[in-house]
Structure 1
Amino acid sequence: YISYDFDWWENLGDEPNEFVSSLRDFMNGSTGGYKILGRMLENDRYKEIFLNRLADLLNTSFQPEYMMGLIDSIDTAINPEMSRDIARWTDGWYDI
């Protein structure tokens, strides 16, 4: 649930840091996705593991430098197919 909308993680919302806001709301049970993971987080050991893993990801895999490298490698892999894909599937409802 937390990762459903990455646009808001880039500070496009009302709060200075939507990721922190989303995480806080989730942890407080004020979002719809709380039922499963929220109940799991009531277990202190699981909560510790979850928060440590989240911190590890925020400090490694979710760092801008790493993510930009990953995005660039995906772009390099799919770029040769984009013209063909656009020609085949563009129906005019949006601008490229």
Structure 2
Amino acid sequence: MAYNILIDRQRARGRASRLLERISSREATQYHDDYPSLDGFDDALAQLSITHRQVLILYFVEDLSVDQIATELMVPSGTVKSRLSRARAAIEEFLVRNEKS
């Protein structure tokens, strides 16, 4: 059982690194060039944990459903929903705080 958990975590880490590679791809750069006003959003995204960043990108950029993300990350759909909620709240807080500065 412990071996299976270890293997699952290794697979998840591999998916996370592949996801980060996709994010830094040419397409992401092109999108950023088209929307330069997203600089604050990039900073906010950088403040998030990898787990929160993953679900946001899979949901909004890759256009996956909550259930698809749950399958991809091998977590319950409720976990995906809570991560999305917390990530949105953290980004909103960051953007509001920096807007006032």
* Interval of TM-score (by shorter of Structure 1 and Structure 2): 0.3 to 0.5
> Which structure has the larger Rg?
1
| Higher helix fraction (1 or 2) | 2
Q: Which of 1 and 2 has higher RCO (CA within 8 Å, sep 6+)?
A: 2
Please give the TM-score of this superposition, normalised by the length of structure 1. Answer: 0.32
Please give the TM-score of this superposition, normalised by the length of structure 2. Answer: 0.31
